[in-house]
Amino acid sequence: MKLIMLGAPGAGKGTQAKRVAEEYKIPHISTGDIFRANIKGGTELGMKAKTYMDAGQLVPDELVCDLVADRIQQDDCANGFVLDGFPRTIPQAEALDVALTKIGQKMDFAIDIDVPDENIITRMGGRRACLSCGATYHVVYNAPKVENVCDACGNALVIREDDKPETVKKRLDVYHEQTQPLIDYYTKAGILVSVDGTKNMDEVFADIKAVLGK
């Protein structure tokens, strides 16, 4: 099972990708999480990515494409993987196609989690993130058992740098301009499925499972 989670910032890509990864026992590959781990670790990649991320802009394609091409060729991806936050430009989608063709594979589904901009702003204000394991919470919709502590790994939860309202607005603009064209791209490829992302998390997950099958 090889799938892409598409959707605006805050649509629930990370939330659903984690559940899909668990259910189907495939790795969850989030480029945002990879960059945040690199920023935390003070690597060169992290330093390069941080300026773009804090401004709500996309990191240049050349910093992302090779990284993902390498990642999907690792052994744990043999039975599939779920991509979260990649591709998010047409050149990235083309680079992914090239990388997959080389290993004789193709994506099975691109799932677009559809949520209007108005709902996004509210969601982002309540998000809390674990920078150690990538888990995501919401103070109202998905609260951790202990306030500000990650259920999964026990580390402290933080508000992401790019979740300030001004930056969220910028990220939405970037999404509409550069990422939304992928809906057309994957419709033409015949693998796009849209799900209503305004439902609650369990309902969205059930809709995704119905698409993926057993």
Residues that bind ligand AP5 (CB under 6 A): 7, 9-15, 31-32, 35, 52-53, 56-59, 64, 85-86, 88, 92, 123, 126-127, 136-138, 141-142, 162, 171, 197, 200-201, 204
- Give the Å distances, CA to CA, from 66 to 30, 31, 62, 81, 170: 14, 12, 7, 17, 26
Nearer to Zn ion, 18 or 123 (CB): 18
State the pairing for strand pair 127-129/136-138: antiparallel
Catalytic residue status for 171? yes
Nearest distance in Å: CB 148, ligand AP5: 13
Helices (H), the chain: 13-24, 31-40, 44-54, 61-71, 90-102, 117-125, 165-174, 181-188, 201-212
CB 9 within 8 A of CB 120: yes
Catalytic residue status for 127? yes
Determine which one of 19, 36, 127, 128 is catalytic: 127
Q: Which two tokens stand for residue 190?
A: 């015949």
CB 17 within 8 A of CB 113: no
Question: Residue 21's binding partner, choosing from Mg ion, Zn ion, ligand AP5, none, with beta-carbon cut-off 5 to 8 A by kind?
Answer: none
Nearer to ligand AP5, 44 or 104 (CB): 44
- Classify 138 as helix, strand or coil: strand
Catalytic residue status for 13? yes
Question: Residue 4's binding partner, choosing from Mg ion, Zn ion, ligand AP5, none, with beta-carbon cut-off 5 to 8 A by kind?
Answer: none
Site string for Mg ion, 10-39 (x = CB under 5 A): ----x-------------------------
Q: Which two tokens stand for residue 41?
A: 């670790």
Nearest distance in Å: CB 103, Mg ion: 26
- The H or E element that residue 31 is part of is helix 31-40
CB 113 within 8 A of CB 7: yes
Catalytic residue status for 88? yes
**Matching residue, tokens 């202990």:** 146
Nearer to Mg ion, 80 or 134 (CB): 134
Determine which one of 19, 88, 123, 128 is catalytic: 88
- Residue of this chain nearest to ligand AP5 (CB atom): 32
> Order of strands, edge to edge, in the sheet holding 2-7?
28-30, 81-84, 2-7, 109-114, 192-196
Contact residues: Mg ion, CB under 5 A: 14
Summarize as ranges the residues that interact with Zn ion (CB under 5 A). 130, 132-133, 135, 150, 152-153, 155
Among all residues, which ones are annotated catalytic? 13, 88, 127, 160, 171
